[in-house]
Structure 1
Amino acid sequence: AFPAIQAAPSFPSSFPKVLEADRSSNTACLIPCAIDQDPYFRMTRDVAHKLVPKSHPLGGKPSLVHSKFFPPLQGAEGKMSSSDPNSAIFLTDGPDDIERKIKEYAFSGGQETKKLQEELGADLDADVSYQWLRFFLEDDDELRTIGEQYGNGKGEYWSTGAVKKRLVEVLKELVADHQRRRS
């Protein structure tokens, strides 16, 4: 029965009280989906045309919103959790909390020593600070520069500390702006 439970959100007729019953069979769905739900979504797309009227706007097939994984501060192996306050930056965190969490908990893809960092550069796929900058830094040229310099161990952003410092600046501004708008 689990595949049926995973498939139900693809069909508005599953929610007649939330969506007007007379319209629900003709409403298109856009489904946010995590990677572990993908097999169920593919199965649903294969059978949806048999369960939905031909007049459906998408021919009966639900559509998917693809999203990228946002790693917790400790690295891609873990997950963010409200029960672990050091796994994420919360929109209620103050500037000092943001700086402390990034400096202490953001997993680094940098090398063990300055010499190795300059020789080998950082592993950008493992480095949480760089991954977060990919989401939050709006200047694509600056992100490209940071990635090249950090990945090569040369330039202004050769070190983990420099990349973390830039992330702290970006997050402080973002969170402060959110808090200002919310108050």
Structure 2
Amino acid sequence: MPANETLRDYLLTRRSVGLAFLKDPGPSADELETMLRIATRVPDHGKLAPWRLVIFAGDARAEAGEKLAAIASRRNPAVEAAALDAERRQFLPAPLTIGVISTAREHPKIPEFEQLISAGNVAFNLVHAAYAMGFAAQWVTRWFAYDDEAATTLGAGAGERFVGFVHIGTPATTIEDRPRPDIGDVVTYWQG
């Protein structure tokens, strides 16, 4: 197989763009379908598809934020208005957010951890798909990925959990690269 220098260069320079800098337009229905096809082409031992995706688009983004604000307010009646407004904006301003859910289950041959990693690969492939389609993305987890009530409200079922939320939109700025680890600090060669 010949080297793909364009893909190599992309992988060497890929950088997340924060939610605040993801604006309209978002992907069309056809572009989204392509992104979803790319996202789900991941290692999946046993062909279990141990993941699901929940799409937050249009008015559903603000509605999800209202539900998160309601949970936060119920749990802490003294919560400040600014904090509630931040909850309301969890899926804004990006025109599209996709929640990636791990549906890992007990299996006689495939550990749940391996299934969870497959779901993580879906999230990262979704980031790559967004860039491949001319958009930018940010994969995040927030408190509501780990909170049972909030996760259920956002679409997780019994025994499922979010591995993250991928915000997608048109970048409103160019993000500077951050320092990356020195390869010598994170790589060792096994010596037996």
Instruction: Judge same fold: TM > 0.5, yes or no.
Output: no
- TM-score w.r.t. the length of structure 1 is 0.25
Larger radius of gyration: 1
Bigger fraction of residues in helix:
1
Bigger fraction of residues in strand:
2
- TM-score w.r.t. the length of structure 2 is 0.24
